[in-house]
Amino acid sequence: MLKVLFFAQTRELIGVDELSIEAEFTTADKLREHLAQKGDKWALALEKEKLLVAINQTLMPLESAVKSGDEIAFFPPVTGG
């Protein structure tokens, strides 16, 4: 099982803080693609070009491998001022 977390604008767009997924995916990007198919808001929130991913609390490329038991967090790039 994968624990998937959503933060900031990503969470606001889809209205979900976290979910658990039983399916297996080879990479975080494959998981992202699967979730983006849930509807228009999901596709917008999970646009590849506007998204960062952390696997087990470490920032990683979207193409990084994931395995059962991992925690995957999706969030937009952070800007400051």
- Three-class SS state of 75: strand
* pLDDT value at residue 78: 76
Domains along the sequence of the chain with CATH:
1-73 (3.10.20.30)
pLDDT digits (tens, 9 = 90+) for 16-74: 999 999 999 999 999 999 999 999 999 999 999 999 999 999 999 999 999 999 999 99
Threshold 0.85, pTM exceeds: yes
User: Considering all CA atoms of the chain, what is the largest pairwise distance in Å, rounded to the nearest integer?
Assistant: 39
* pLDDT value at residue 19: 97
* pLDDT value at residue 81: 57
* pLDDT value at residue 6: 97
- Report the alpha-carbon distance of residue 32 to residue 19 in Å, rounded: 13
